[in-house]
Amino acid sequence: MVRAIEHIEQEITILEGAIVTLGEDLRLTYDDYLKILGQTVRRQLVMAAYYLCTQEFPERFLEMPLSQRQDLQDALKQLAKQIQAQLHQANQQPVEPPLEVSRWQYRVEQNLSEILKTGSHSANRLLEKAGILPGNVPESVLEAATHADLGHESIAGPPNILKLVIEPQLPEEMPESDGEESPATLLRQLIPLKVIALRLKLSELEFVDAELTSWRTRVRNLGHRLGSLEQELRQRRHERAIAEAESIWRSTWFED
């Protein structure tokens, strides 16, 4: 039994070392991936803003004074640089001991999602403030539409552009009026709401950049290998606990 426990201990040591090595490989791969992702975001944010200004709302863009157009472009370029810098720092948390590397990767992915979400929000606010995007879409509606397609009719469009038609409430679903709503307000409740905005989406960013897709595949493959090793390590630790429990039981059990 002692020899069996020693053998399991050796397997655990080997697995822990492999996970530490793979975790470092994953961190370095994320470094390269995030570098390319930052460059892609910087380009695609500007391209998405260009599309909104020249294809969807060209009249509004043409109505802007030259200085205001330049201010908008400068602000968008500055925002793109800011997002790029944030992405570069997204994986800077220390990699924890074995069985914590997957949690570290999860936090990195959560950081990426939050950075892209916040960056998209900031870009839309810049475009709205400049008069490009209409300001009639409530913040809560845009937030919900960005994260879910339920109840909304999605419209095909270019990468990183969100186009939705939000259907109005049916009359039987509408709350009773207290008589204070204006006719215009009531009419808006019966007309589909068209939403168009900038939305940086990871899958669409990868779709337009083959190099980014290649690095994403490497990250995904390392993550799968890491998950398999961590699962095996948990199993070996469980086997060790069983072997130790059996040994302790036998050491204290005496027949009457």
The 3 state secondary structure assigned to the chain is: CHHHHHHHHHHHHHHHHHHHHHHHHHHHHHHHHHHHHHHHHHHHHHHHHHHHHHHHCHHHHHHCCHHHHHHHHHHHHHHHHHHHHHHHCCCCCCCCCCCCHHHHHHHHHHHHHHHHHHHHHHHHHHHHHCCCCCCCCCHHHHHHHHHCCCCEEECCCCCCEEEEEECCCCHHHCCCCCCCCCHHHHHHCCCCEEEEEECCCHHHHHHCCHHHHHHHHHHHHHHHHHHHHHHHHHHHHHHHHHHHHHHHHHHHCCCC
Rounded Cα distance between 88 and 153, Å, is: 35
Q: Kindly report the number of other CB atoms within 10 A of residue 15's CB atom.
A: 19
39-76 in b/e form (b: 16+ CB < 10 A) is bbbbebbbbbbebbbeebbeebbeebeeeebeebeebb
- What pLDDT is attached to residue 165? 78
Q: Is the pTM of this model over 0.85?
A: no
Q: In the prediction, which pLDDT does 91 show?
A: 86
Say what the pLDDT of residue 184 is: 47
Cβ–Cβ under 8 Å, residues 129 and 49: no
Residue 187, CA distances (Å) to 14, 69, 141, 253 in order: 68, 34, 18, 82
Matching residue, tokens 């937030």: 143
Could you tell me if 5 and 244 are in contact, meaning their C-beta atoms sit under 8 angstroms apart?
A: yes
Annotated domain spans of the chain: 19-224
Pairing of strands 152-154, 193-198: unpaired
Per-residue pLDDT 10s for the chain (256 aa) are 666 889 999 999 999 999 999 999 999 999 999 999 999 999 999 999 999 999 999 999 999 999 999 999 999 999 999 999 999 998 887 766 666 788 889 999 999 999 999 999 999 999 999 999 987 666 776 666 566 444 445 566 789 999 887 776 555 555 555 555 554 454 455 566 788 899 999 999 999 999 999 999 999 999 999 999 999 999 999 999 999 999 899 888 887 6
